[in-house]
Amino acid sequence: MELVKLNNENSFDPTPKLKSSPVPISFVSFKKNDKNCIHCGEEYTETIIRYQKYCKKCLSYYLTNITDNNIYLDVYLFTKDLECNEHEISRTKVPQNIQECCRNCLIILYFKQIIWFSFPTNHPDLRILYENVIKSEKYCKLCGKLLYQGIEHDFINNLILCSNCYLISIGYIESTLTKKLISIIYLPWWDDRST
Global pTM reads: 0.70
How does DSSP classify residue 17?
Answer: T
- Output the tens digit of pLDDT for each of the chain's 195 residues: 444 444 555 556 778 888 888 888 889 887 878 899 999 999 999 888 778 889 989 988 888 888 888 888 888 776 655 555 555 544 434 455 565 556 566 678 888 888 765 555 566 667 777 777 777 778 888 899 988 776 554 444 567 788 898 888 888 888 889 999 999 888 888 776 665
d(CA 171, CA 113): 21
CA neighbor of 172 nearest in space, from 162, 190, 185, 161 = 185
From CA 165, how far away is CA 154, in angstroms rounded? 21
d(CA 173, CA 171): 7
Our measurement of the distance from residue 16's CA atom to the centroid of its chain's CA atoms, rounded to an integer in Å, reads 14
